Amino acid sequence: MTIWYIVGGIILAAVVLVGLLAVNRRAALRRAEEQRQLRGGGAGRDSGDRDGGGVDLRDRPRLTGIDELPGTGAGEVVLTDEVVEPLPLDRPEAPESRLARLRRRLAGSNNALGRGLLMLLSRDRIDEETWEDFEDTLITADLGVGPTTELVDNLRTRFRVEGVADPAQAREILRSELLALVDPTMDRTIHADRGDTPAVVMVVGVNGTGKTTTVGKLARVLVAEDKEVLLGAADTFRAAAADQLETWGGRVGVPTVRGAEGADPASVAFEAVKVGIEGEVDVVLIDTAGRLHTKTGLMDELGKVKRVIERQAPVSEVLLVLDATTGQNGLTQARIFREVVDVTGIVLTKLDGSAKGGIVVQVQRELGVPVKLVGLGEGVDDLAPFDAEVFVDALLEVA
C-alpha cells in the first residue's frame, strides 16, 4: 500500500506542475497580446506585415536592417520585430589600399593591351611589321580603331623625332602617350557629398553585369569614407535582388528600404529618398532593375524612376555598370542608357586577367563619360576608384 501512496503522490504533483505551467503560458500570451494592442498591431496579424502604426505594408516599401531612423513617423517604414543579437560589422578597406591592389591586379594580369605594350618594348628594332602587329594587338584589346590609330601615329612620330635609343626612353614615351589617351583630366570623383538633402546615386545596367553587387561594394567604399549610407532596393523584378542588397548592407550596418516583389520601382526609390531625407543620411544608393537596352518600355521606366526621385532631391550621380569583357556590346548599352538617364560615370566590372583593358579608353572616348570605379575580382572590397596613372603604370609593369 505504501508504494501506491508514493505513486499517487507523484502523479498528483505532476498534474499540479502541468497546471501551473499552463497558467503561466496563458499569462504570457495575454501580456504579448496587450503589447501588440499597445503598438496597434492587432490580433492575428503576422509581424512582418505591420509597422509601428499597425499599417499593412505588404504592398509598400519598408526599411530593414537597423532601428527606425530619426524623423520617421508611424506607418512610414516597417522594421523586423525579431530580437537578433547584432553581428560584428565588417571594417571596409580604405580607398588607398584598394588602389594599391588595383595596380597589383592589373600588373599581374595577362590582358591583350599589356601584351601589346610588351611586344613593342621588347623589340630590338621596330620596323613596319612591328607597328602593324602592335596596331592589330591594340584593336584586339578593345582600344577601338580611332584611339589605336591616334596612339600608333603619335608613337611613330615621337620615336622618329626623338630618336629612341633604349627601352627606358621608349617606355617613358609610351607612358605619356597612353596616359594622354586615358585622359587624367576627366573628373572621376564620386559626387556623394550631402548638401541640403542627401546625395542620391542611381546605379543602372543590364542583367549580368554585377550591378547589385556593385551597389553593395560601393556602400562599403562610402562607409570607409565615414559616410552614412542608405540603400534603396528598386530592383523589384528579380526575386533575390532585395535580399542580396540587404545582406550587403547588413555587413557594414547600412539599412535597406525595400518593397514587395513586383512593386513599382519608382515608389520604392521615392520612399528610399524620403527616408534618407528624414533620417539625414549622407548618401542614398538606388539599385535599379537590370534591363535589356533593347526593351524600350523598361528603359522608359528607368527614366521615370529618375524623375520621381528628383521630386524630392537631385540625383547626384548615375553610374552605369558595364562588364569589361563585353567589348562593343557594352558600348551599345552605354549609349542607350546615356540617352535615357544622363549617365555621369562608368563602373567597369571584371577588369582583371580576363578583361581587355582598352575598353577603358574606348568607352570614355565615345561617350565623353569617365570611368570612375573598377571591379577587380570577387572579394567584398574589390571595387576601387579608377586612377588613370595607376592604370597606365600597371599596364607598363606587365611590359
Feature table: binding site for GTP: 205-212, 287-291, 349-352
Q: How far is Cα 355 from Cα 141, in angstroms, rounded to an integer?
A: 8
DSSP string, 282-349: SEEEEEEPP--TT-HHHHHHHHHHHHHHTTTS-EEEEEEEEETT-THHHHHHHHHHHHHH---EEEEE
Q: How far is Cα 74 from Cα 180, in angstroms, rounded to an integer?
A: 55
Strands 371-375 and 383-385: antiparallel
Torsion sign across C-alpha atoms 344, 374, 176, 173? negative
Q: Which helix (H) or strand (E) holds 215?
A: helix 211-224
**Hunting for cell 571591379 — which residue is that?**
375
Q: How far is Cα 384 from Cα 217, in angstroms, rounded to an integer?
A: 9
Specify the 3-state DSSP secondary structure of 199: strand
Q: How far is Cα 66 from Cα 254, in angstroms, rounded to an integer?
A: 7
Cell triple for 161: 623625332
Residues annotated within a binding site = 205-212, 287-291, 349-352
Is the separation of the CB atoms in 113 and 148 below 8 Å? no
Specify the 3-state DSSP secondary structure of 144: coil
Q: What is the DSSP letter of 225?
A: T
User: Which amino acid type is present at position 216?
Assistant: G
Angle at 84 between CA 81 and CA 90, to 5 degrees: 125
Strand runs labelled E in 8-106? 62-64
In 40-166, where does DSSP find H-type helix? 95-107, 112-122, 128-140, 145-162
Q: How far is Cα 16 from Cα 48, in angstroms, rounded to an integer?
A: 38
